[in-house]
Amino acid sequence: MKPSTLELGRMIRVELGHSKKTNELHRAKEWQIIWSHEQIRYDHKAFSLMCLFLEISAALSIEDDLHDELSDEDVTMVGLFRVLSNALVHLESSAKAKSCDPGGELLIFLGKMLIEQGVFPSREGCSFCDAQLEKLSKVYLVTDHGGFACHECIGHLEAALISSSQEGRELWELLGVVANQRYQELSEFKMEHRGAVRLLLHYFLYQFHFQEHQFKSLKMVL
Ligand SMILES: [Zn+2]
């Protein structure tokens, strides 16, 4: 039995029939829908977000070799799949409650994906001088240094890769919430600076060498 797969946001378990090693077509012997969204398709914001989550997950995935008998034991993609399925369940409940906030949903998804991929921005202390950021009013995200920095340390840095202090501070707070709570426990964020989401998106794109135009659904979300 192959692991569950996702098709248009539905989770489907598929058992594949054996095919010739040279054959790229695989015969589905059995399939079963495990979970399916009901409300997302009635909410265009939620639907666009779902398309974006699927696009991002596909870009991060490596192609599965279905001829490899040992691929069932390969767990490298399990974490990515877990983030995606959590995101869809979260999105479905927001759509159901009619409280879908695209910025908040995207921020949670990107935050959880960055944790999963091991490139979550460091919140511990300033990336340069190690100063504790918790009590500082001015905190900046420094995209090419993988974390946040204090006001004293950003003077010599290239402006394009530094956030504003307000957005940086808010993102620092929000990412703390994302990191410390389970996906389904995260409720709507009250964001003062909407730029915090775009800031995290830029950080995400930078980490994986992605370009914004690669993700067609993005312009329908932000
Ligand atoms: Zn510093």
**Domains in the chain, please, with CATH?**
1-36 (no CATH), 37-221 (1.20.1440)
Judge if pTM exceeds 0.75.
yes
CA of 162 to the centre of ligand 1 (A): 13
Residue 29 pLDDT more than 70?
yes
C-alpha–C-alpha distance, residues 5 and 14, integer Å = 7
C-alpha–C-alpha distance, residues 191 and 171, integer Å = 9
| Average pLDDT over every residue of 118-136 | 93
Indicate the pLDDT class of residue 78, thresholds 50, 70 and 90. Answer: confident
CA of 138 to the centre of ligand 1 (A): 11
pLDDT in tens, 135-158: 899 999 999 889 999 999 998 787
Indicate the pLDDT class of residue 3, thresholds 50, 70 and 90. Answer: very low
CA of 163 to the centre of ligand 1 (A): 15
CA of 134 to the centre of ligand 1 (A): 12
Mean pLDDT of the chain: 87
Going from the C-alpha of 132 to that of each of 66, 120, 181, 196, the distances in angstroms are 48, 18, 22, 21
Q: What share of the chain is helix, strand, coil (3-state, %, to 5)?
A: 50, 15, 40
pLDDT in tens, 186-203: 987 888 888 999 999 999
